[in-house]
């Protein structure tokens, strides 16, 4: 495993981040294909053996059970100071707004819930999961700054935002003396490269770490045509993101397969090796042991500039999909894929 500094922080993270969305009670959340605790623990332990020290989860994953599984596994298999734990919080609900819960109090309640789930005193990286159009930006940045000052989070990151939103938030933080976002978690992979228009440039200029999700496009960049999996069959949200562009994306996926054959490696290794030339630490979702083993191998694979160009050449512009498609004031009022489910939220 290789390691690097996470943006403008002193966090040293593995070049592969284990995404924990696939861990959690499959009967208690948005996804039916997640792993139970026993299998989640096995994969987390294997990741640690392979040198992975960076783990990403969220309060919205399977009603908090993803956080619970991760926290218990890390307590049993790792020293706290040896791992970097990231989790994410959701916008205020209409019920909270009606009850007069401020943005600052909402963030306090969210972090306390996550820390209880994880069994930790602090997280290393606390991430604003999606833009909250119903809460003033000042309240968000002030609330995040308060939990950093309280020692409940070492650093803050953001996810599912446009470059102008990240720039605006960090400008406000700089003006007010608040903690600034040191990382961004966006939708970025070989078949969805819209982040290259603005976000990549901003992050390079300001040394903001990129830790993209969907790094293998829900498994599409790791499987040959005809191969399937429980997630590919049951993940309706990933189908919503990728099915409409399957024909044009298939050209790129075919090139991944050809390059994998040439190198004698897996498609996972090719897809991630390409992404590792662009970002700090891609988040790799894992539901089978070979997923994390293939991801770890990708760190040691170097693609030539010509090979990268071969993979990139067929790409055509894509419509914004997924959570980012709801990053508008109007769409923000619609039901989102993520919620805190049936867990008890601290302070409510």
Q: How far apart are CA 303 and CA 194, in angstroms?
A: 22
Q: How far apart are CA 3 and CA 13, in angstroms?
A: 5
**Among 44, 323, 341, 47, which residue's Cα sits nearest to residue 185?**
323
Q: Are 107 and 143 in contact (CB under 8 A)?
A: yes
Angle at alpha carbon of residue 270, lines to 206 and 34, rounded to 5°? 85
Q: In Å, what is the CA distance from 247 to each residue of 47, 86, 150, 276?
A: 34, 35, 50, 25
| Catalytic option among 3, 61, 155, 237 | 61
- In eight-state DSSP terms, residue 55 is E
Residue 39 has, within 13 A of its CA and on its CB side, a CA count of 14
Q: How far apart are CA 291 and CA 43, in angstroms?
A: 9
Q: How far apart are CA 26 and CA 23, in angstroms?
A: 8
Q: How far apart are CA 278 and CA 258, in angstroms?
A: 21
Q: Classify strands 3-5 and 12-14 as parallel, antiparallel or unpaired.
A: antiparallel
Q: How far apart are CA 12 and CA 10, in angstroms?
A: 6
Q: Is 61 a catalytic residue?
A: yes
In whole angstroms, what separates CA 115 from the centre of its chain? 18
Q: How far apart are CA 224 and CA 169, in angstroms?
A: 41
* Residues that are catalytic: 61
């Amino acid at each position: 495993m290789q390691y690097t500094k996470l943006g403008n922080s002193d966090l040293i993270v593995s070049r592969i981040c284990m995404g924990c969305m696939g861990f959690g009670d499959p009967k208690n959340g948005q996804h039916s294909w997640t792993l139970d605790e026993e299998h989640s623990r096995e994969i987390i332990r294997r990741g640690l053996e392979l040198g992975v020290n960076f783990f990403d989860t969220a309060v919205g994953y399977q009603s908090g059970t993803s956080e619970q599984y991760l926290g218990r596994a890390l307590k049993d298999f790792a020293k706290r100071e040896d791992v970097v734990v990231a989790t994410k919080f959701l916008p205020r609900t209409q019920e909270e707004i009606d009850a007069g819960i401020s943005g600052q109090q909402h963030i306090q309640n969210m972090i306390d819930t996550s820390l209880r789930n994880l069994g930790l005193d602090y997280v290393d990286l606390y991430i604003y999961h999606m833009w909250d159009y119903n809460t003033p930006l000042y309240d968000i940045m002030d609330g995040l700054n308060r939990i950093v000052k309280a020692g409940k989070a070492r650093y803050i990151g953001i996810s599912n935002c446009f470059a102008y939103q990240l720039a605006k938030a960090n400008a406000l933080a700089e003006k007010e003396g608040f903690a600034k976002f040191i990382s961004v978690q966006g939708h970025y992979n070989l078949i969805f490269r819209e982040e290259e228009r603005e976000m990549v440039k901003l992050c390079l200029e300001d040394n903001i770490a990129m830790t993209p999700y969907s790094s293998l496009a829900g498994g599409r960049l790791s499987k040959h045509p005809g191969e399937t999996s429980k997630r590919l069959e049951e993940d309706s949200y990933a189908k919503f993101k990728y099915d409409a562009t399957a024909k044009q994306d298939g050209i790129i996926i075919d090139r991944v397969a050809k390059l994998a054959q040439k190198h004698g490696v897996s498609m996972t290794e090719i897809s991630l090796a390409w992404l590792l030339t662009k970002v700090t630490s891609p988040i790799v979702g894992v539901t089978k042991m070979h997923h994390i083993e293939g991801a770890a191998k990708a760190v040691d694979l170097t693609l030539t500039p010509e090979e990268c160009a071969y993979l990139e050449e067929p790409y055509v512009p894509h419509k914004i999909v997924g959570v980012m498609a709801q990053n508008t004031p109007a769409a923000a009022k619609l039901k989102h894929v993520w919620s805190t489910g049936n867990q008890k939220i601290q302070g409510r």
